Structure 1
Amino acid sequence: MRFVAEPAFVLHARPWRETSLLVEVLTVSQGRVGLVARGVQGPKRQPLRAALQPLQWIRFDAVQRGELAGLSSAEALDAAPRLVGEAMLAGFYLNELTLRLAPRDDPQPELFAAYRHARERLRAGESLAWTLRRFERDLLEAIGFGFDWSHDGDVAVDPAARYRLDPEQGPVRVLSDRGHGDRSSAATGQALLALAQDAMPAAADLASLRRAMRGVLAHHLGPRGLKSWEMLGDLARVSPARLAMPDPQPDTGTS
C-alpha cells in the first residue's frame, strides 16, 4: 500500500537502531499506522525529526509492504501545541490512550476528527478535564464501544441520581443502600446528561466522571494500565495539593 500526502497526527516516536525512528501515527484513511523513518540523524535531517514529534500534524509519503510502512518523506502542517505542566501530561495521555485502543490499519475518520478537536482544545488552554472526558467518549464511540450516556437501559438518566458505568451496557444506577464505595466511584446523572449533550457540567459533576470513565477504559485496556496514570499518581504523591487530588489514588482531573 502506498501513502501519498497522507494527513496524520504523530502519536509516538522512539529510536530504532542507530539512525532511525519507529513512529506511530493516526491517519484519516487507515487509522493507526506504524512507520519506519530511516536515517533521520544528522543536521540535514533535523526538519524531518522535528516533524515526527508527538502531537505534530504532518503530511507524509510512505510505502507499506508488511506491518510497518517505510517513510519516504514527511512535513509539518502546523506548529505542535506548546504544552507545559498538567497540559503536557494531558497531551501524553491523549496520545497513549489513542495508541493503546485505536486499532491498526482500520480507517477511523471520526477518531481522527475527535483527536484533532482535542489537540486544539489543549492548545487553546480549555478545561483539561472536560477536554479529555469528551475525547474518551468520542474514542469509545469511534472504536465501537460507545453507549447511550443518557439512559440506564430503557430508563432516562435521573440528573439527581448516581450511576456506575458498565463497560458493555453503559449507565447503571447506584442505589443509596449499596454502600459508599460504589457511590464514590460513580458519576452523577447530571454529568452523564451533560456529556450526552456535549455541554460542560459544573465542576463537581465533571469531577465525578473521571473515576467512572476510568473503569470503562481500564476494562478495554486489559491488565496493563497506562503509563500516564502511573506518572500522575507519582506526581500526586509528591504534590497532591497542586494536582487537586481528592485522595492518594493515581487519579487527577486530567486523566
Structure 2
Amino acid sequence: MRYTGEPAFVLHTRRWRETSLLVEVLSLSQGRLGLLARGVQSPRRHALRAALQPLQHIRFDAVQRGELATLTGAEAVDRAPALTGDAVLAGFYVNELVLRLAPRQDPHAGLFDLYAEVRGRLAAPGLGWTLRRFERDLLDALGFGLGWDTDGDGAPIDPAARYRLDAEHGARRVFSERDGERGRAATGRALLALAADETPEVDDLPGLRRVLRDVLAHHLGPRGLKSWELMADLGRLAGPVNAPARPPHPATD
C-alpha cells in the first residue's frame, strides 16, 4: 500500500538503530500507523526530523509492505502547540491514551477530528475539563462509551446522588461509605454535566477524573500508563476550570 500526502498527527517517536526512528502516527484514513523513518538522524534530514515530533500535524508519503510502513517523506502542516507546565504532561497523556487504546490500521469515525480538537485546546485554560471531555469522547469513538446520563439499569442519573462507573455495566449508584466507595465516586451532577458537555462545578472535577480513570484502566488492562506514573495523580489537572496551568512540581508529579 502506498500513502501520498496522508494527513496525520505524530503520537510517539523512538530511536531505531543509529540513524532511524520508529514513529507512531494517527492518520486520517488508516487510524494508527507505525512508520519507519530511515536515516532521519543524519544532519541533512533536520527538516524531516523536526516534522516528526509528538503533537505535530504532518502530511506524509510512505510505502507499506508489512506491519510498518517505510516513510519516504513528511512535512509539517502547521506549528505544533507551544506547551508549558501541566499542558506538556497533558499532551503526553493524550498521546499515550490514543497509542494504547486505538488499534493499528483500524480507523474509527471522528477520532482524527477529536485528536485535532483536543490538541488545539491543550494550551488553553481549563485543562482539567479539556481532558475529561477527551476521555469521554475517546471512549465513545472507540466503542467503549457509556450512557453518561443514565445508570447501568437505564434509570436517569440523580444529580444529588453519587456514582461509580463500571466499564461493562455503566454507572452504579453508591449508597454506603464502605471501603471509601463514596470517595472514589462522582456526583450525579458531574455525570449529567459530562453528558450535556457543560462545564462541571469546580468541586465535581476530581470525582469525574477518578471515575473516568476506572473505566480507562479497565480497557488498558494490567499495565497502566507511564503518564499516570509521571503525574502520580491527575487530580492536579482537575483544578479550577478557568485557572491558568501551573508549572510542574517535581514533588507532586
CA contact (8 A) 2:96 2:225 kept: yes
Q: How does 1:1-255 map to 2 (within 5 A)?
A: 1-123=1-123, 125-152=124-151, 153-175=153-175, 177-179=176-178, 181-233=180-232
Task: Give the Cα separation in 1 of the matches to 2:168 and 2:234.
Answer: 32
Task: Give the Cα separation in 1 of the matches to 2:228 and 2:78.
Answer: 29
CA contact (8 A) 1:34 1:68 kept: yes
Unaligned runs of 5+ in 1: 237-241
Equivalent residue letter for 1:197: A
Equivalent residue letter for 2:110: E
Give the C-alpha shift of residue 178 in structure 1: 4.4
Q: Pick closer, same or farther for the CA change 1:137–1:45 going to 2, 3 Å.
A: same
User: Does the residue aligned with 2:122 lie in a helix, a strand or coil?
Assistant: helix
User: Does the residue aligned with 1:156 lie in a helix, a strand or coil?
Assistant: coil
Task: Give the Cα separation in 2 of the matches to 1:51 and 1:243.
Answer: 26
Task: Give the Cα separation in 2 of the matches to 1:7 and 1:244.
Answer: 32
The equivalent of 1:239 in structure 2 is: none
CA contact (8 A) 1:23 1:52 kept: yes
CA contact (8 A) 1:87 1:128 kept: yes
Q: Pick closer, same or farther for the CA change 1:244–1:184 going to 2, 3 Å.
A: farther
TM-score, length-scaled by structure 1: 0.89
The equivalent of 2:239 in structure 1 is: none
User: Does the residue aligned with 1:120 lie in a helix, a strand or coil?
Assistant: helix
User: Does the residue aligned with 2:9 lie in a helix, a strand or coil?
Assistant: strand
**Matched residue pairs, number?**
241
User: Does the residue aligned with 2:137 lie in a helix, a strand or coil?
Assistant: helix
Equivalent residue letter for 1:81: P
CA contact (8 A) 1:62 1:69 kept: yes
Equivalent residue letter for 1:230: E
Give the C-alpha shift of residue 31 in structure 1: 0.6
